[in-house]
Copies of this chain bind each other. A is one copy, B any other.
C-alpha cells in the first residue's frame, strides 16, 4: 500500500471512529488525506473497500498483539473464551469503527467478497490455534494436519461470533451478549 492509500485508510479510520459509517464521507476523506477524490477511487473501488482495508489493518495489529503471548487457559474451552474476549474487546474498544466495519463485512458488496472471506478465515484460524493451544500466528499455513472436528468447531464458533457481532453492531444487544453467545456455544460444543 503506497503512501496515499495509507493516508486514505488512516483518515477513514479516524472519521469512522469519531462518528461512524455515515461520517466517512469520501469528499472529507479525500480532503483530509490531502488527495483528490479521483485518487481515492484509483486506489479503492468503493467506500466499503476502504473500510475493509481498515478492518484488515486493525485485524493484523490484533493478531500481532495476540501472538505476543500464549493464549491463557488449560482447556480448549477456556482458551476459546479467552481468545474471543480478546477479539471482541479489540473491536469494541472503538465501537463506531467496529460498527462501520461490521456493516461493510455484511454488506454483500461483490467487490470485497474475497477480503471478507479472508477475514472469516483469519478468525477461524485464530480460534483453531486457541483450541489447540498453539501460538496464534498471522500467516498460518493450514495443511493436511488439521483435525476435522477442531476445524468444524472453530468454524461454528466463528459463525456464532460473527452473527452476534453483527447483532451488536445493529443495536440488537450489548457487547456482553456477544461473549455470552460464544461461551454458550463453546460450552455445548466441548462437552461432547
Q: Which residues of B contact A152 (CB under 8 A)?
A: 184, 188
* Oligomer: number of copies: 2
- Would you give the 0/1 interface string for A85-114, flagging 1 where the beta carbon is closer than 8 Å to chain B? 000000000000001001100111110010
Query: What is the bound-complex CA distance between A156 and B191, given in angstroms?
Result: 15
Tell me if A62 is interfacial: C-beta within 8 Å of chain B.
no
Query: What is the bound-complex CA distance between A172 and B121, given in angstroms?
Result: 11
Query: What is the bound-complex CA distance between A163 and B162, given in angstroms?
Result: 6
Taking a contact as CB atoms under 8 Å apart, the answer to whether A160 and B156 are in contact is: yes
- Would you give the 0/1 interface string for A44-57, flagging 1 where the beta carbon is closer than 8 Å to chain B? 00000000000000
A23 to chain B, nearest CB (A): 14
Tell me if A117 is interfacial: C-beta within 8 Å of chain B.
yes
Instruction: Tell me the count of chain A residues lying within 8 A, CB to CB, of chain B.
Output: 37
Tell me which of A106, A153, A172, A191 has the highest count of chain B C-beta atoms within 10 A of its own C-beta. Answer: A106
- Would you give the 0/1 interface string for A5-29, flagging 1 where the beta carbon is closer than 8 Å to chain B? 0000000000000000100000000
List the 10 closest pairs (A to B, CB-CB), nearest first.
Answer: A106-B106, A192-B192, A159-B163, A108-B170, A163-B163, A113-B171, A159-B160, A162-B163, A156-B185, A191-B192
